[in-house]
């Protein structure tokens, strides 16, 4: 099943060649192999979309495999979050949920097989000594004095390592390859280490654990993975994985490396994300400013937008950084189609319409989504006292300011043209506390007489009808496109944006938003896309700003099409 509609890339080319030559009997089997030591982020989404996407495209299968070889950093909380995130992105591994720890017995057997073939030995050097003996990129390493142990002695020592006879770190099992190899990974890498740690799945059964390098390739082999897709930093590990598979003489998946995703204004290393959480720079793994899938889901991102983004960025062999504006563009494109519109006032300024009857309420008709007439219309109440956003009024307007100012006119969305007649100020602070206006009854939107035009339209809510909400208009977590762009001696933390979280407590929303529940997404007209945060409770509505409406990427894309 070779589709002809998708743009091709080098991985698709490899798979299609393999299908043509009937390698693996025409099977395509991939896997997404996270280590459960943190939450998944947008970079992982690229890998998930790629692995599950390719399998679906070629009628193959994709496994979810937890590469859980390092019990000291792993946790079931992470396993559960990873499952939820992959599902949320829209992918299904059916019954193929595997764990490297399921293969610990097999891996132990493989290790014994290599010892018997004199291809592995027990080494008594400490971690520091191993490093010393390893040499450098320009100098060859030195053989370990334990390299020449007999097969019998190695078998005995390895079994006793497993039995827990030696202290933590006292011995390792190493592959016997080549201490002079130009590839450092081939200089007798460690296969097993003693680690008296409880494992989240195997409990206290093991006190020796395989290294990632000894577990990963064999796990792929055991599962019959045909195309083992990973990021570029594993290119140098490939000769080692090949060596293990060849020496063990077991099924040999093909490893294919691609460039990892980097995003501007974002860090995508689990170590750093963990630091952000543990040091309290954010509220948790699902803080809406985090690039984790849990975070951006809470922020209001849709799985469709992320999948579309991953398809558009494509895959390459060279590392690069993607402009976060492109991710946000994909999000706007999706939300624009599906998000219902509402009016909300974030920084309320009271407006009284002096010539509007005191007790009158009009129900005005508003369009739910101009992009989709099928979404219908709704009624919004209009009355004598309104709120508008403070930003839409200036006492001393600059030349190009066409919104409300003393003596000037503006259209209220779906309603009337109003004119500012007077400004009321707080006696103590001097701050504008209210503006007095008049309305022109002949200008009601949609009425036959409404043809009169003014330069600007602003949003509003009716004061008595509006409901209160807290709104959090998030900004990027980092100040600079490259968080590593720091002064000497400082680290990436110095680029954290101190204003990334702002909380506006007394926002006013149109009454149609009453009862909105967490996860609900919408557009606040003129302000951006927002979604209801899980912090919402009875009597307290909380909205996150998902993204603003300004789309710098749309301009870039237009320019690219022209140029």
Residues assigned a catalytic role: 35, 260, 270
Q: Which stretch binds ligand ATP (CB under 6 A): 243-251, 266-274, 336-344, 417-425?
A: 266-274
Q: Which of 190/268 has CB closer to ligand ATP?
A: 268
Residue 255 lies near ligand ATP (rule: CB under 6 A): no
97-99: strand order across its sheet: 29-32, 61-66, 97-99
Q: Give the Å distances, CA to CA, from 407 to 74, 83, 389.
A: 65, 59, 18
Q: Which of 291/348 has CB closer to ligand ATP?
A: 291
Q: Which of 156/311 has CB closer to ligand ATP?
A: 311
Residue 295 lies near ligand ATP (rule: CB under 6 A): no
Contact 269, 37 (CB under 8 A): no
Residue 230 lies near ligand ATP (rule: CB under 6 A): yes
Q: Give the residue, chosen from 15, 19, 30, 34, that forms a contact with ligand ATP under the rule CB under 6 A.
A: 34
Residues in contact with 45: Cβ distance below 8 Å, sequence separation at least 6, in sequence order: 89, 293, 306, 307, 310
Give the relative orientation of helices 151-162 and 104-116 as an angle to the nearest 10 degrees: 160
Contact 13, 316 (CB under 8 A): no
Distance, in Å, from the CA atom of 367 to the CA atom of 338, rounded to the nearest integer, reads 13
Residue 257 lies near ligand ATP (rule: CB under 6 A): no
Q: Which of 82/527 has CB closer to ligand ATP?
A: 82
Distance, in Å, from the CA atom of 51 to the CA atom of 227, rounded to the nearest integer, reads 9
By three-state DSSP, how is residue 259 classified? coil
Q: Give the residue, chosen from 181, 183, 185, 231, that forms a contact with ligand ATP under the rule CB under 6 A.
A: 231
Residue 351 lies near ligand ATP (rule: CB under 6 A): no
Distance, in Å, from the CA atom of 460 to the CA atom of 413, rounded to the nearest integer, reads 7
Q: Which of 56/268 has CB closer to ligand ATP?
A: 268
Residue 307 lies near ligand ATP (rule: CB under 6 A): no
Terminal alpha carbon distance of the chain: 36
- Beta carbon of residue 54, minimum distance to ligand ATP (angstroms, whole number): 13
Q: Give the residue, chosen from 134, 252, 260, 419, that forms a contact with ligand ATP under the rule CB under 6 A.
A: 260
Q: Which of 72/269 has CB closer to ligand ATP?
A: 269
Helix, strand, coil shares, percent, the chain, to 5:
30, 25, 45
Q: Which stretch binds ligand ATP (CB under 6 A): 158-166, 263-271, 373-381, 511-519?
A: 263-271
Q: Which stretch binds ligand ATP (CB under 6 A): 38-46, 123-131, 300-308, 326-334?
A: 38-46
- CA 534 and chain centroid, separation: 18
For 554, the enclosing helix (H) or strand (E) is helix 552-562
- CA 178 and chain centroid, separation: 40
- CA 330 and chain centroid, separation: 13
- Beta carbon of residue 107, minimum distance to ligand ATP (angstroms, whole number): 18
- Beta carbon of residue 385, minimum distance to ligand ATP (angstroms, whole number): 52
Best CA proximity match to 91, nearest among 60, 49, 59, 58? 49
Q: Which of 23/73 has CB closer to ligand ATP?
A: 73
Q: Give the residue, chosen from 8, 269, 355, 494, that forms a contact with ligand ATP under the rule CB under 6 A.
A: 269
Contact 498, 331 (CB under 8 A): no
Residue 43 lies near ligand ATP (rule: CB under 6 A): yes
432-440: strand order across its sheet: 457-458, 409-412, 417-425, 432-440, 348-353, 385-389, 461-462
Find where tokens 């949609």 sit: 446
Nearest-CB residue for ligand ATP: 43
Q: Give the residue, chosen from 11, 28, 39, 46, that forms a contact with ligand ATP under the rule CB under 6 A.
A: 46
Q: Give the residue, chosen from 44, 238, 297, 521, that forms a contact with ligand ATP under the rule CB under 6 A.
A: 44
Residue 545 lies near ligand ATP (rule: CB under 6 A): no
Q: Under rule CB under 6 A, how many of the chain's residues touch ligand ATP?
A: 15
**Given the rule CB under 6 A, which residues bind ligand ATP?**
33-35, 43-44, 46-47, 230-231, 260-261, 268-271
């Amino acid at each position: 099943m070779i589709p002809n509609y998708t743009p091709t890339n080098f991985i698709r080319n490899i798979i299609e060649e393999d299908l043509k030559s009937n390698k693996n009997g025409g099977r395509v089997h991939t896997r997404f192999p996270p280590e459960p030591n943190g939450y998944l982020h947008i970079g992982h989404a690229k890998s998930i979309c790629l692995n599950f996407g390719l399998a679906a495209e070629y009628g193959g299968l994709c496994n979810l495999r937890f590469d859980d070889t390092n019990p000291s950093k792993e946790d079931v909380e992470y396993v559960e979050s990873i499952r939820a995130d992959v599902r949320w992105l829209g992918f299904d591994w059916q019954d193929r949920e595997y764990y490297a720890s399921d293969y610990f017995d097999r891996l132990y057997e493989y290790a014994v097989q290599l010892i018997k073939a004199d291809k592995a030995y027990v080494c008594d050097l400490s971690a520091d000594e191993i490093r010393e003996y390893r040499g450098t990129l320009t100098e060859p390493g030195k053989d370990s004095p334990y390299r020449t142990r007999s097969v019998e002695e190695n078998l005995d020592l390895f079994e006793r390592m497993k039995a827990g006879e030696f202290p933590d770190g006292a011995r390792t099992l190493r592959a016997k390859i080549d201490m002079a190899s130009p590839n450092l990974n081939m200089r007798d890498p460690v296969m097993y280490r003693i680690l008296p740690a409880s494992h989240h799945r195997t409990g206290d059964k093991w006190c020796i654990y395989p290294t990632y390098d000894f577990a990963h390739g064999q796990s792929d082999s055991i599962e019959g993975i045909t195309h083992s897709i990973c990021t570029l930093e594993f290119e140098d590990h490939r000769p080692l994985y090949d060596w293990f598979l060849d020496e063990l003489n077991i099924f040999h998946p093909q490893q294919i490396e691609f460039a990892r995703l980097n995003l501007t204004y974002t860090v995508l290393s689990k170590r750093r994300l963990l630091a952000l959480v543990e040091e309290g720079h954010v509220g948790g793994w699902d803080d809406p400013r985090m690039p984790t899938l849990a975070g951006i889901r809470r922020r209001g991102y849709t799985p469709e937008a992320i999948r579309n983004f991953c398809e558009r960025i494509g895959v390459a062999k060279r590392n690069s950084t993607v402009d976060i504006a492109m991710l946000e563009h994909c999000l706007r494109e999706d939300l624009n189609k599906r998000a219902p519109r509402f009016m909300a006032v974030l920084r309320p300024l009271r407006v009284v319409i002096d010539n509007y009857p005191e007790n009158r309420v009009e129900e005005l008709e508003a369009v739910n989504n101009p992009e989709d007439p099928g979404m219908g219309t709704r009624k919004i109440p209009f009355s004598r006292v309104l709120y508008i956003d403070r930003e839409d009024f200036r006492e001393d307007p600059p030349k190009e300011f066409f919104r409300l100012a003393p003596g000037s006119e503006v259209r209220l969305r779906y309603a009337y043209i109003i004119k500012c007649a007077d400004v009321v100020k707080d006696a103590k602070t001097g701050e504008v506390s209210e503006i007095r206006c008049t309305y022109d009854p002949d200008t009601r939107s949609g009425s036959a007489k409404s043809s009169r035009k003014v330069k600007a339209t602003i949003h509003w809510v009716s004061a008595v009808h509006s409901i209160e909400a807290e709104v959090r208009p998030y900004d990027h977590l980092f100040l600079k496109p490259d968080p590593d762009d720091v002064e000497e001696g400082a680290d990436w933390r110095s680029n954290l944006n101190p204003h990334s979280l702002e909380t506006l407590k007394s926002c006013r929303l149109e009454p149609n938003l009453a009862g909105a529940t967490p996860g609900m997404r919408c557009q606040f007209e003129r302000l951006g896309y927002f979604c209801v945060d899980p912090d919402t409770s009875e009597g307290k509505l909380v909205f996150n700003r998902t993204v603003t409406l300004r789309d710098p990427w749309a301009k870039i894309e237009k320019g690219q099409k022209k140029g």
